[in-house]
Amino acid sequence: MAPIKGTQSRTGGKLIRGGRSTDVTSDIDGTATEISGRREDNLTTLLTVSGGTKIESGNDRYHVFTTPGTFTTGSQLTAEVLVVASGGSGAGAAYGGGGGAGGVLHAPSTSLEKGRYTVTVGGQGYDGGWYSPGGDGDDSSFAGVTAKGGGAGTGYLNGPAVRRGPTAGTITINGRAGGSSGGSGVQYPGSPSPDPVLPQPAPSDYTAYGNVGGNGGGGPSHGFAAGGGGGAGGTGYAAESTTAGGGDGGAGRAFPGFPGPVIAPAIPAPVRPGWTPVVGPTGIFAGGGGGGNYYTESPQTGSSGGSGGGGAGAPGAPPTGANAAGDAIRFTGSGGGGGNYPNPSLVSHGGKGGDGIVIVKYSVA
């Protein structure tokens, strides 16, 4: 009786006969997707590393995780790693703060020992409903490091803050703490400060990124608009005291080693057309959501989400749709936009936070 061939044997046979990585249909554990179009120069690396969706560009290989999975390597690797948590959602009516971006951990160069690594990817947050704050984003993790989910936005007259699930939190109109904090709603009299960002401890070869959200307006003489959520590249903006406009979301941060056009084939098709230009050639992720305007503001002047995919805040006046606030772009870790003036027939929700993403990059030259 002929011996039974394992997956590694079958894969190796195809590789040797065909000589191109496009002939490879699975890796040693049979779980990865291969996206490649050139001759494979490093057989050992191909046969011993798997997980996520694999993409090759020049001498570099990327393993992209948009859902939880396992990264496996049969040999030691030196890799660049990006771990992005999911963004917080914006608060709903009334005048909701923008969601904070998910925290980011980046290692320009780190050593990965032989073994299997569990990968956790934060999912898309739910939107802030009628008179309620948004939901906090979920954590993402890889190889023992954890990026914290973005903090939810809160707003005027919002009830108890909640976490995704939800699990009841405390009554507050401060923007919730997270990898980046959510924007704050108005507190009359005066405006609260956002909760601080959550710590993201990691080894010295990683750098953590996250910023606080912006303050809400100060009450009747300054409007009830809300602050924008913090982003990985900058703090969220405070509400405009003179115009009653919501604060813009904090900027995302560029990670040039992970350019959008290269990573795009790993992004699900319905999301990809909007994702690619937002992340762009410099790899911008984790922008904060914009804060909701006060209702006296023009419908055409809603606040902006932060670069890298943050959702826009709802414009002034009663919304013209069931969700006037903008959702964050998925798989960017950005925060959702805040809702605005309540319209009972339409229900002004906050925007949803964007899913996280984990990417491992190494050379196959």
Per-residue pLDDT tens over the stretch 324-358: 789 999 999 999 999 887 655 555 788 999 999 99
As a whole number of angstroms, the distance between CA 326 and CA 335 comes to 10
Instruction: Please name which of 216, 126, 132 lies closest in space to residue 169, comparing C-alpha atoms.
Output: 132
Confidence of residue 5 (pLDDT cuts 50, 70, 90): very low
Which of 45, 65, 85 is a domain's end point?
65
Greatest alpha-carbon span in the chain: 88
Contact status, residue 65 vs residue 357, Cβ threshold 8 Å: yes
Whether the per-residue pLDDT at 320 is higher than 80: the answer is no
**Same domain for 34 and 151?**
no
**Same domain for 223 and 120?**
yes
**Same domain for 308 and 182?**
yes
Q: Note the pLDDT of residue 317.
A: 66
Share above pLDDT 90 across residues of the chain, in percent, rounded to a whole number: 58
For residue 45, report the phi and psi dihedrals to the nearest 5 degrees: -60, -45
Whether the per-residue pLDDT at 19 is higher than 60: the answer is no
As a whole number of angstroms, the distance between CA 25 and CA 11 comes to 7
Whether the per-residue pLDDT at 92 is higher than 90: the answer is no
Q: Note the pLDDT of residue 206.
A: 98
As a whole number of angstroms, the distance between CA 148 and CA 53 comes to 23
**Same domain for 301 and 197?**
yes
Whether the per-residue pLDDT at 188 is higher than 70: the answer is no
The answer to whether residue 1 is domain-embedded is no
From start to end of the chain, where are the E strands?
A: 33-35, 49-50, 53-57, 60-65, 69-73, 77-84, 104-112, 115-120, 140-142, 145-147, 160-163, 167-171, 207-209, 253-254, 284-285, 357-363
**Same domain for 20 and 139?**
no
Domain that holds residue 55: 7-65
Count the Cβ atoms, other than its own, within 10 Å of residue 38.
Answer: 13
The answer to whether residue 346 is domain-embedded is yes
Instruction: Please name which of 287, 280, 301 lies closest in space to residue 351, comparing C-alpha atoms.
Output: 287
The answer to whether residue 358 is domain-embedded is yes
Decide the pairing of beta strands 104-112 and 253-254.
unpaired
Which of 20, 42, 65 is a domain's end point?
65
Strand partners, 96: 155
Predicted model pTM:
0.85
**Same domain for 134 and 86?**
yes
Place of tokens 């190494």: 362
Place of tokens 């554990």: 29
For residue 117, report the phi and psi dihedrals to the nearest 5 degrees: -125, 125
**Same domain for 223 and 316?**
yes
As a whole number of angstroms, the distance between CA 228 and CA 172 comes to 16
Whether the per-residue pLDDT at 164 is higher than 50: the answer is no
The answer to whether residue 101 is domain-embedded is yes
As a whole number of angstroms, the distance between CA 184 and CA 153 comes to 6
**Same domain for 180 and 222?**
yes
Between 137 and 47, name the one with better pLDDT: 137
**Same domain for 204 and 292?**
yes
Whether the per-residue pLDDT at 189 is higher than 60: the answer is yes
Which of 50, 65, 80 is a domain's end point?
65
Between 108 and 10, name the one with better pLDDT: 108
The SS3 call for residue 10 is helix
**Same domain for 281 and 339?**
yes
Per-residue pLDDT tens over the stretch 286-305: 999 999 988 776 666 789 99
**Same domain for 56 and 88?**
no
Q: Note the pLDDT of residue 132.
A: 74
Strand partners, 117: 71
The answer to whether residue 142 is domain-embedded is yes
Going by C-beta distance under 8 Å and a sequence separation of 6 or more, which residues neighbour residue 37? Answer: 22, 56
The answer to whether residue 128 is domain-embedded is yes
Helix (H) or strand (E) holding 275: helix 272-279
Distances (CA, A) of 342 to 23, 156, 181, 318, 323: 57, 11, 24, 7, 11
Between 160 and 107, name the one with better pLDDT: 107
The overall average pLDDT reported for the chain is: 81
Q: Note the pLDDT of residue 298.
A: 63
Whether the per-residue pLDDT at 166 is higher than 60: the answer is no
Strand partners, 168: 162
Share above pLDDT 70 across residues of the chain, in percent, rounded to a whole number: 76
The alpha carbon of residue 198 and the mean position of all alpha carbons in its chain are separated, in whole angstroms, by 16
Indicate the length of the chain as a whole number: 365
The answer to whether residue 319 is domain-embedded is yes
Between 1 and 297, name the one with better pLDDT: 297
**Same domain for 222 and 251?**
yes
The answer to whether residue 2 is domain-embedded is no
Per-residue pLDDT tens over the stretch 21-37: 222 223 333 344 444 43
Tell me what the mean pLDDT of segment 116-144 comes to: 88
Count the Cβ atoms, other than its own, within 10 Å of residue 347.
Answer: 16
As a whole number of angstroms, the distance between CA 15 and CA 363 comes to 19
DSSP state of 178: S
Q: Note the pLDDT of residue 11.
A: 33
Number of domains the chain contains: 2
Q: Note the pLDDT of residue 47.
A: 58
